[in-house]
């Protein structure tokens, strides 16, 4: 299955980043989250992927630990 490209904003350096999301992994679970390092500043970004009330795919990026 093809991965979906999604834009997020790094919560550290505010750069817009392109990430790839595997929609198959999200469909197996109600949501999933993972840590990905920023491509610009290398800080850890916590990425949460879930469906909103309308069934649309949502991606939330926060400062990771």
Half-sphere exposure of 5 (CA within 13 A, CB side): 3
Segments forming the whole domain that contains residue 57: 4-63
How many angstroms separate the CA atoms of 17 and 11, rounded? 11
User: Region 15-42: what's the mean pLDDT?
Assistant: 82
* Residue 22 clears pLDDT 80, i.e. is over it: no
Record the pTM.
Answer: 0.80
Please state the domain count of the chain: 1
* Residue 1 clears pLDDT 70, i.e. is over it: no
* Residue 43 clears pLDDT 80, i.e. is over it: yes
Structure confidence at residue 28 as a pLDDT band (50, 70, 90): low
Structure confidence at residue 13 as a pLDDT band (50, 70, 90): very high
How many angstroms separate the CA atoms of 46 and 65, rounded? 8
CA distances for 63 relative to 8, 10, 23, angstroms = 12, 8, 23
How many angstroms separate the CA atoms of 52 and 65, rounded? 25
């Amino acid at each position: 299955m093809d991965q979906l490209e999604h834009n997020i904003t790094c919560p550290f350096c505010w750069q817009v980043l392109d990430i790839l999301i595997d929609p198959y992994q999200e469909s197996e679970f109600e949501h999933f989250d993972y840590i990905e390092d920023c491509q610009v500043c290398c800080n850890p970004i916590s990425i949460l992927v879930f469906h909103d009330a309308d069934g649309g795919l949502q991606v939330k990026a926060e400062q990771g630990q």
